[in-house]
Amino acid sequence: MILIDPVEEATVGICRACELELEDAAEFAVCAACARLVEVETAQLLLRLGPLGAIGTVAQVADTKQSLAVLYASTALGPNADRIAQFLGSNRTTTRQYGMRFRAARIWTHDEVLGPWSTSPWLSPAFCRLFLMDALVGSGLAVRGKGRWEFIADEPARAA
């Protein structure tokens, strides 16, 4: 008689980004090398975007940077807010909120992360601009329909 333990089977991890087999149970679902790459690339992207003061208040800039980190992590980790919160060490409630906005804008589908930036070369001006626009969707400052973004009027907050 062959005993199959479905629980044990489910914990066998494969890196979502490079398909390397993970030694221990898939904590974040990416291997250490890919996790480091996500971290480095997020920092590169933020560096390329420069100071984002024009976005709005200090809090809105911070929200957008966090949203950007969540969105970029999702390209490796998949559209799973809880997994991303664990990976980034970020607040789960806030991360879920970004995730809900990404879902509403169809940037996150049930298992994919899709954006117009995905066809532009990494760190090209187009990539940076389009990725930032989707990050603004996550932070609630813009909405996206079919490849178009609109800023949400929030003048009192901007003036504050």
Query: Where does this chain bind Zn ion (CB under 5 A)?
Result: 15, 17-18, 20, 31, 34
Element (H, E) at 150: strand 149-151
**Shortest separation between residue 16's beta carbon and Zn ion, angstroms:** 8
Side-chain-side CA neighbours of residue 14 (13 Å): 5
**Shortest separation between residue 38's beta carbon and Zn ion, angstroms:** 10
Q: Cite the DSSP H helix spans in the chain.
A: 6-10, 32-49, 58-77, 81-88, 92-104, 125-138, 155-159
Report the residue number, 15 or 26, with the smaller CB distance to Zn ion: 15
Neighbours of 72 (CB within 10 A): 24
Report the residue number, 31 or 130, with the smaller CB distance to Zn ion: 31
Report the residue number, 87 or 98, with the smaller CB distance to Zn ion: 87
**Shortest separation between residue 150's beta carbon and Zn ion, angstroms:** 37
Report the residue number, 34 or 49, with the smaller CB distance to Zn ion: 34
**Shortest separation between residue 39's beta carbon and Zn ion, angstroms:** 13
d(CA 79, CA 51): 27
